């Protein structure tokens, strides 16, 4: 199927799913279980050490077969082949989309171009290994000859969220004496309060920016450079052993003053929100060590193989993508929640917000036409059990239905048996209660639990670097599948450009706000009067 003459709404599967959606309100998930003793087994799938139970969904056999047909009738398979082959599927920027090449092995290559690409990646990863090994061994010295103890990663979006999530998730593997700090927001309170706690003699700034042009990142870097001057009397700290640059634009990093041999490069075909596998992940390698970093890559590579090889009906990213499309496009559910029962995955929802909403928040099809169906889901979430004492009330008894991804590790070396049993018991109880519901005692409507609320449960054997890599790659491919079916470009982000341009117009010292709307002018005046 060619994306040029494709629209998902013109497929027979789309029409059939619309017809199924009309009667979906009569379907009860508990009835589906009662009618099919094999349902739990039939609607579950494994990949490596990840196990997905998707049986608690509002999906009949008929709906499931039509969803699979929707995937077949879409350009998904040719689009997937084009991505892995390095074709420029990011059409508005004429770029290949090759984050999977960051975790590929030479034997995965099926062309000389692919072999060269993998060789380049391996070479770039060697720089990550060399730098992280040296820092971890206490051999990377600051300007006064002391070993580095604190890394400040300055970056935003993809140059922040992935490394920050990975370092938190893989805390079990963290270096005992090196602390990681992540600065992203241009809000000066973030960097100023962080720097106050650090010793400049033993601090290394990892300046992470694909483009090396991002306003927030460069302003935070300027503040860090000034801090080194004020505290150590160091001129141009960016040109010292206190700075490394992580970028796909080495020319800009050199012009900025970073020493050439302290620039860790990655290729421009790595999208920002897909870059944790590249040198942008230096802080991860520093924290957990390069060997474990490679395990993370291996987990992602195994998920890449699963995504490429597993039949659609047992393909984990495809399954999760189709369920999301069913809820969003046909049952008209507006949001979806990710709820890890693992405090170390607290940042996963924020990470997935960029991955999913920056990728699929699009209203123009690959044919250049406005779409007439919903695309990107509104994704939100928080960890359990904390969420149970905050928003779960709405999930159980509110007027809306929110499909949920529950995520947990079967075993946790950082916890103990008692805590872990209670944690997982809570997760299982919630997903079950949301599905089964409960009738209200006579005259006590407020105690009515409607139930029939759908969820996936994704179990990891444990939260190892390898399984973490597989988990992130799973969501990357889920987003890709949805983008392919919706026929949109999941790899550009023009939507963030207008705000950036207008912010630039309001940044200078003598700003003329007259060109702005009346509300913005009034707010501008309020700030001027009160600052």
Identify which of 261, 132, 108, 303 has the alpha carbon closest to the alpha carbon of residue 204.
132
Q: From the CB of residue 276, how many other CB atoms can be counted at a distance below 10 Å?
A: 27
Q: What is the separation of C-alpha 237 from the centre of its chain, rounded to a whole number of angstroms? A: 32
Please give the positions annotated as active site. 358, 389, 500
Spatial separation of the C-alpha atoms in residues 344 and 186, rounded to whole Å:
25
273 contacts ligand F6P (rule: CB under 6 A): yes
Q: How far is the CB of 214 from ligand F6P (least distance, A)?
A: 3
Return the number of the residue (212 or 290) whose C-beta is nearest ligand F6P: 212
Residue 308-347 contact track with ligand F6P, rule CB under 6 A, x = bound: ----------------------------------------
Map the footprint of ligand F6P across residues 343-372, applying CB under 6 A.
358
Q: How far is the CB of 479 from ligand F6P (least distance, A)?
A: 13
Q: How far is the CB of 247 from ligand F6P (least distance, A)?
A: 8
- Give residue for tokens 């047992």: 314
Which of residues 55, 73, 159, 279 is near ligand F6P by CB under 6 A? 159
| DSSP letters for 260-278 | GGGEEE--TTS-GGG-TTT
Residue 229-248 contact track with ligand F6P, rule CB under 6 A, x = bound: --------------------
- DSSP helix/strand/coil, 16: helix
Stretch touching ligand F6P by CB under 6 A, among 134-142, 157-165, 396-404, 507-515:
157-165
Q: From the CB of residue 72, how many other CB atoms can be counted at a distance below 10 Å?
A: 13
Stretch touching ligand F6P by CB under 6 A, among 155-163, 180-188, 455-463, 512-520:
155-163
Q: What is the 3-state secondary structure (H, E, C) of 278-316?
A: CHHHHHHHHHHCHHHHHHHHHHHHHHHHHHHHCCHHHCH
Map the footprint of ligand F6P across residues 431-470, applying CB under 6 A.
none
CA distances, 145 to each of 53, 134, 175, 236, 240 (Å): 54, 14, 21, 17, 12
Return the number of the residue (116 or 497) whose C-beta is nearest ligand F6P: 497
Residue 484-513 contact track with ligand F6P, rule CB under 6 A, x = bound: ---------x--x-----------------
Spatial separation of the C-alpha atoms in residues 349 and 345, rounded to whole Å:
8
Residue 251-270 contact track with ligand F6P, rule CB under 6 A, x = bound: --------------------
Extract the runs of DSSP E, i.e. beta strands, from 309-468: 335-340, 378-381, 404-411, 455-462
Contacts to ligand F6P by CB under 6 A: 156-159, 209-211, 214, 217, 272-273, 358, 493, 496
């Amino acid at each position: 199927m060619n994306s040029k003459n494709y629209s998902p709404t013109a497929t027979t599967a789309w029409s059939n799913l619309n017809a199924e959606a009309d009667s979906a309100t009569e379907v009860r998930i508990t009835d589906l279980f009662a009618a099919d003793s094999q349902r739990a087994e039939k609607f579950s799938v494994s990949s490596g050490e990840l196990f997905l139970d998707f049986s608690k969904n509002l999906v009949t056999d008929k709906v499931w077969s039509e969803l699979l047909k929707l995937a077949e009738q879409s350009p998904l398979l040719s689009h997937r082949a084009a991505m892995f082959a390095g074709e420029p599927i990011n059409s508005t920027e004429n770029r290949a989309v090759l984050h999977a090449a960051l975790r590929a092995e030479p034997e995965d290559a099926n062309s000389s171009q692919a072999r060269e690409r993998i060789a380049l990646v391996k070479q770039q990863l060697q720089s990550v290994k060399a730098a992280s090994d040296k820092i971890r061994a206490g051999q990377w010295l600051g300007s006064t000859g002391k070993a580095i103890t604190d890394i400040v990663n300055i970056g935003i979006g993809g140059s922040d969220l992935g490394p920050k999530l990975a370092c938190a998730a893989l805390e079990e593997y963290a270096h005992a004496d090196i602390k990681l700090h992540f600065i992203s927001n241009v809000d000066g309170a973030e960097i100023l309060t962080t720097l106050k706690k650090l010793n400049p003699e033993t601090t290394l700034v990892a300046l992470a920016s694909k483009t090396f042009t991002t306003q927030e990142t460069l302003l935070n870097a300027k503040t860090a450079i000034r801090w080194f001057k004020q505290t150590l009397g160091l001129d141009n700290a960016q040109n010292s052993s206190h700075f490394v640059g992580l970028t796909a634009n080495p020319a800009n990093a050199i012009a900025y003053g970073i020493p050439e041999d302290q620039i860790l490069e990655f290729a421009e075909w790595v999208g920002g929100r897909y870059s944790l596998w590249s040198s942008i992940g230096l802080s991860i390698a520093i924290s957990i060590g390069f060997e474990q970093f490679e395990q993370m890559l291996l987990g992602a590579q195994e998920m890449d193989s699963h995504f490429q090889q597993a039949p659609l009906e047992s393909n984990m990213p495809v399954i999760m993508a189709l369920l999301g499309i069913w809820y969003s496009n046909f049952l008209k559910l507006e949001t979806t929640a990710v709820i890890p029962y693992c405090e170390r995955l607290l940042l996963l929802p924020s990470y997935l917000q960029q991955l999913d909403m920056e990728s699929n928040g699009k209203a123009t099809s690959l044919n250049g036409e406005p779409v007439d169906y919903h695309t990107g889901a509104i994704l939100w979430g928080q960890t359990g059990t904390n969420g149970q004492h905050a928003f779960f009330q709405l999930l159980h008894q509110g007027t809306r239905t929110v499909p949920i991804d529950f995520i947990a590790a079967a075993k946790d070396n950082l916890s103990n048996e008692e805590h872990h049993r209670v944690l997982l018991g809570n997760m299982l109880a919630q997903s079950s209660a949301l599905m089964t519901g409960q009738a209200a005692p006579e005259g006590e409507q407020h105690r009515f639990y409607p139930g029939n609320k759908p969820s996936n449960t994704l179990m990891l054997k444990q939260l190892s670097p390898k399984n973490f890599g597989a988990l992130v790659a799973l969501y990357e491919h889920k987003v890709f599948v949805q983008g392919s079916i919706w026929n949109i470009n999941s790899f550009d982000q023009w939507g963030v450009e207008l705000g950036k341009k207008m912010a630039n117009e309001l940044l200078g010292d003598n700003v003329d706000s007259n060109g702005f709307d009346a509300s913005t002018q009034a707010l501008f005046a309020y700030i001027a009067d009160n600052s």
